Structure 1
Amino acid sequence: MKRWIGFLGHLAIIIIFTSFGTYSFKSKSVVEVPFQLKVTSTYLSYVPSLIDFQNQEDQGSPILLGKSYVGFKEALAFKESQGKYEIVNSLGYLGKYQFGSSTLKLMGVSNAVYFLNDPVLQERIFELNVARNKWILRRDIKRFVGKRINGVIISESGMVAAAHLAGAGNVKKYLRSYGQNDFSDAYGSNIAHYMKKFANYNISKIKAQHNPKV
């Protein structure tokens, strides 16, 4: 009798939990996600990590940004500083794009501390410097884009990136010597490498400008 009572008690408990589980499942209603919150694109399906960027660094093209102007500036920024606005390197170059103080003064910036703490200003200075280098190199862009030097098809973006590294004057020397007169910075980066790494980005939205200032 005790065994039967115990068995019936366990059976009753099982029936109660089974009924409860069935009821809970059936009671759930389907909630329609508003159209505005639905994901319609996989463009930003994940946030890239630093390792992702390091794996992409040799291709010179940040994840998701492709060959756009934004892709160009972010690829160059990652090469220069890993995209960090507050960095000052061992040679005194400043910010996300590693500008020298002399270049900043040319464009109207004299306060290094203010510059380091103003990301908007850093982005603006980079844009103006692209415009400035395009102006200085305007004749060489017409003459050399599409030609092959040291195995690399010369592009406007490659020239502008190399000018960011070495100065537009040194880029002119490199092009006009057909790659014989190269320039390397203190860390070993040279014009030929930048020409290849930053080739074929679309930077046409930035127009050449003579002596731009903030």
Structure 2
Amino acid sequence: MVTGFEKLNLMKKKCSYFIGFVLLVGGIFSGFKRYEITLLQDLRIEPTQPLFYDVQTEEAFEYCTSVKEEKLDIPFTGKTFTGFKQALAVRESLGIYTLVNPFGYMGKYQFGKSALRSVGINDASGFLTNPIMQEKAFEALLAKNKWELRKEIKQYSGKRIGGVTITESGLLAAAHLGGAFSVKKFLKSNGSAGFRDGFGTSIRTYLKKFAGYDTSHIIADSNPVVVV
């Protein structure tokens, strides 16, 4: 004979089984819930300002790793021509297109008026406000200096002069600093006839700092003219 207390326990067990079954069925069906699909184009952001990208130089990369004391997976431009332009621009003006120094040299690559005229630019104020013209003027001056130093590039590349290994990119950077004539004097004097700009920067410094970059695609030109 089943007592009232036993009947109550039996009812509790049945209720527990029923509730568990309902939860199980609900969980199964919830796995088949229909989700809405969001297209990627619906997540796009419309920029309100032009987007600019900076590529880190190898020197900056090495500085970061020394500070962090760990190797960071950050891209850098290395010894490419882009790296050459960026490294030289940082040294000349911190990459500021509108900068004019106390000696009147202007722009991202710090052109003097005589250097501008040598590549066909007579409007200094227009040059200062035109980044595209500045980039073209830089490459034009490289082409001119490569022509002026074509014999020296062939004769001295790979040799050590004044404690510095001579490379094409180093010669072009040094010519940008002090002119092709000063570079020739340095080489012919075996490094004893130096040149320093108004801030005391020497040709030797540029020969060393900008050595080994790829400037091979620059075509020597005796009379380059910038066309914008």
TM-score range, shorter chain: 0.7 to 0.9
Tell me the CA shift for residue 27 of structure 1: 8.9
Aligned match of 1:43: none
**Which string of whole-angstrom CA distances, capped at 9 and with x for unpartnered residues, describes residues 158-208 of structure 1?**
000000000000000000111010000110100111000000001001110
Match of 2:159 among 147, 154, 158: 147
After superposition, the Cα gap between the structure-2 partners of 1:207 and 1:29, relative to the gap in structure 1 and judged at 3 Å, is: same
Q: Does 1:73 align with 2:85?
A: yes
Tell me the CA shift for residue 211 of structure 1: 1.2
Which 4+ stretches in 1 moved above 4 angstroms?
Answer: 26-34, 46-56
After superposition, the Cα gap between the structure-2 partners of 1:128 and 1:27, relative to the gap in structure 1 and judged at 3 Å, is: same
Aligned match of 1:205: 217
Q: TM-score, normalised by structure 1?
A: 0.73
Tell me the CA shift for residue 151 of structure 1: 2.0
Kindly provide the amino acid, as one letter, of the partner of residue 184 in structure 2: K
CA distance in 2, matches of 1:175, 1:149: 7
Tell me the CA shift for residue 29 of structure 1: 8.6
Q: How many residues align?
A: 179
* Equivalent residue runs for 1:33-48 within 5 Å: none
Q: Does 1:104 align with 2:129?
A: no
Q: Secondary structure at the match of 1:128?
A: helix
RMSD: 3.2
CA distance in 2, matches of 1:131, 1:47: 25
Kindly provide the amino acid, as one letter, of the partner of residue 174 in structure 2: A
Aligned match of 1:160: 172
Tell me the CA shift for residue 153 of structure 1: 1.0
Q: Does 1:184 align with 2:196?
A: yes
CA distance in 2, matches of 1:177, 1:97: 28
- Identity, in percent, stands at 48
CA distance in 2, matches of 1:47, 1:144: 34
Aligned match of 2:130: 118
Contact 2:105–2:112 (Cα < 8 Å) also in 1: yes
Tell me the CA shift for residue 150 of structure 1: 2.2
Aligned match of 2:185: 173
Kindly provide the amino acid, as one letter, of the partner of residue 208 in structure 1: A
Aligned match of 1:129: 141
Kindly provide the amino acid, as one letter, of the partner of residue 100 in structure 1: G
Aligned match of 1:83: 95
